[in-house]
């Protein structure tokens, strides 16, 4: 059974309410650091997310390639996130992808409900809204559309939007390009770790088993953005997460003890290091804590693609080449599904931190939805 229309954040946002329901109000300890995204983006001082020119990775000059790898390595170690420019995906493809996603979310809610998921029965692909099975127990100011996008033989096109008519075509084209970019980036990071160029990709299943999951995040205008979050603080469970957005700011990163806004960079793709790569690198690369803010002026839409290993087929553990007597393994072996089960957040005096000790196993339904979770990105 499809969820009731009242469960959609969009329906709340367009109902004329002046105050948000209490279920969306963040806990008291979070409210002091929820800021105005547009004011934050205007600030010139403070740390900025690194931007990497990826065309240098294919230079004929080995010195240029090496310097580009150094920049990638530094960003992955210190930030766990970076903007990629000159990434090789045509702007025309990206613009069509965005137009298709915007066209779907501009449909009447009743039309979108035809694609509704049903988390209670395990049907996680489709149109949905975040339920209160997250760390805080509060709701998030977001609707979304989620589905597997690659490999193509594992897709269920029956649940993909029929409107707009080019949704399947352009999404397929974009994910094919993105799969190639994934190989390029993993190859560079493998060399940075001192292993063979194809090592990381082989470790997570290669072309045959690595999954690309697409989640279009829709963050409606919020009458009280100072009280809500589009997505609460989390790290991505993925290997890598690729992010596009409609140039409305909202992504915040927890860097050096402070929340930092990710300023919009034209013609770029944002890339997150996920938990899976943090494990494989034995903690050298950081899966950064991030969250999504909302605002009262503009709708924010983002397109997040999560690169994930198969849930049970592969054992995740630090690469053997990175484990020594002086640098022992920081993570015990686990499958991807086990990692998601073990992953919880707990609040401490120092703030939100990740705890990978299994204390409260999640349900399969929660595991599957959390594997799709991303920031507005």
Closest to 311 in 3D by CA, of 179, 204, 229, 219: 204
CA 330 to CA 356: how far, in whole Å? 11
Catalytic position from the list 98, 234, 284, 286: 234
Taking phi over 0 as left and psi of -120 to 50 as alpha, with beta for the rest, 195 belongs to beta
Active site residue 87: no
Q: What is residue 154's DSSP assignment?
A: G
Catalytic position from the list 71, 143, 236, 377: 236
Closest to 304 in 3D by CA, of 205, 230, 365: 230
Catalytic position from the list 71, 87, 215, 284: 215
CA 309 to CA 181: how far, in whole Å? 16
User: Do residues 37 and 263 make contact, with C-beta atoms less than 8 angstroms apart?
Assistant: no
Closest to 74 in 3D by CA, of 289, 330, 285, 322: 285
Active site residue 267: no
CA dihedral sign of residues 78, 81, 86, 89: positive
CA 133 to CA 367: how far, in whole Å? 10
Active site residue 234: yes
CA dihedral sign of residues 32, 37, 38, 40: positive
Q: Tokens representing 338?
A: 């086990």
Active site residue 198: no
Catalytic position from the list 284, 286, 290, 377: 290
Q: What positions carry a catalytic annotation?
A: 215, 234, 236, 290
């Amino acid at each position: 059974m499809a969820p009731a229309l009242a469960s959609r954040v969009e329906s709340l946002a367009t109902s004329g309410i002046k105050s948000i329901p209490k279920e969306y109000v963040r806990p008291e300890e979070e409210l002091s650091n929820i800021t105005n995204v547009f004011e934050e983006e205007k600030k010139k001082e403070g740390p900025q997310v690194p931007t990497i020119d990826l065309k240098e990775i294919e230079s004929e000059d080995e010195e240029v390639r090496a310097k580009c790898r150094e920049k990638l390595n530094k960003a992955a170690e210190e930030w766990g996130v970076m903007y990629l420019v000159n990434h090789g995906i045509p702007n025309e493809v990206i613009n069509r992808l965005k137009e298709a996603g915007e066209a779907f979310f501009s449909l009447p809610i009743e039309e979108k409900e035809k694609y509704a998921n049903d988390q209670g029965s395990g049907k996680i692909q489709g149109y949905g809204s975040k339920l209160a099975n997250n760390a805080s127990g509060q709701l998030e100011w977001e609707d979304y559309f989620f589905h597997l996008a690659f490999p193509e033989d594992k897709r269920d096109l029956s649940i993909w939007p029929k409107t707009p008519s080019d949704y399947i075509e352009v999404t397929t084209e974009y994910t094919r390009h993105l799969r190639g970019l994934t190989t390029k980036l993993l190859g560079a990071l493998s060399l940075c770790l001192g292993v063979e160029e194809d090592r990381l990709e082989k470790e997570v299943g290669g072309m045959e088993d690595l999954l690309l999951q697409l989640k279009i995040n829709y963050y409606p205008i919020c009458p009280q953005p100072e009280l809500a979050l589009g997505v609460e603080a989390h790290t991505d469970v993925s290997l890598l997460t690729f992010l596009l957005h409609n140039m409305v700011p909202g992504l915040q990163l927890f860097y050096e003890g402070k929340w930092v806004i990710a300023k919009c960079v034209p013609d770029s793709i944002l890339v997150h290091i996920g938990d899976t790569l943090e494990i494989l690198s034995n903690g050298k690369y950081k899966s950064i804590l991030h969250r999504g803010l909302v605002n009262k002026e503009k709708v924010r839409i983002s397109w997040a693609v999560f690169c994930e290993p198969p849930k049970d087929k592969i054992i995740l553990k630090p690469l053997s080449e990175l484990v020594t007597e002086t640098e022992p393994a920081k993570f015990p072996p686990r499958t991807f599904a086990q990692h998601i089960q073990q992953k919880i957040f707990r609040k401490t005096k120092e703030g939100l931190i990740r705890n990978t000790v299994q204390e409260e196993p999640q349900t399969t339904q929660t595991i599957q939805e959390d594997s799709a979770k991303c920031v507005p990105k």
